[in-house]
Structure formats: C-alpha cells, structure tokens
Amino acid sequence: MKKTVKSEFLRLSKNDVLKGILMAVLTPVLVVVQQSIASGVLTLDVNAIKLAAAAGGIGYLIKNFFTPGEK
C-alpha cells in the first residue's frame, strides 16, 4: 500500500499545495452548478468564479496548515 506524505504542523507539503489548486478549480465549478440549478439559468459570473476559487483554495491550505500530520 502506498504511504501518503503528511505535512508537519504549521507547514505545507507539495501535496497540500497541489490539492489546494485542485480545490480552487473544483469549488467554483460546484458553486456555478449549484447556482445554475437554483436559478434555472446557466450564468457565468467571472468575479464570483474567481472569488469562489480563491476561497476554496485558500481555505483548504489554511485547514492543512493548522492540522497536525499523522505519524
């Protein structure tokens, strides 16, 4: 079984940054889909997409920064 690399407390590993980027891509997609379903119309508000991307990516990195690694 492959061992996952866990970052230390108050540090970020390369995997954390890559997963943060993934979250920054997926979060706005989900927000746009949810808003489109709720309104019934597909709207692409670039500013809202950028804000959701930043919030998703930064939120994930902050969570990992303050979470101690498993030993």
- Total domains in the fold of the chain: 1
How many beta carbons lie within 10 A of that of residue 55, not counting itself?
15
Kindly tell me if the per-residue pLDDT of 71 is higher than 60.
Answer: no
pLDDT tens-place string over residues 4-42 = 666 777 788 898 889 889 988 998 888 888 888 899 988
In a domain, 60, yes or no: yes
Establish if 7 belongs to a structural domain.
no
Instruction: Say if 50 falls within a structural domain.
Output: yes
pLDDT at 69 over 80: no
Cβ–Cβ under 8 Å, residues 23 and 58:
no
CB 55 within 8 A of CB 31: no
User: Which range of residues forms the domain containing residue 43?
Assistant: 14-64
Confidence band, pLDDT 50/70/90 cuts, at residue 43? confident
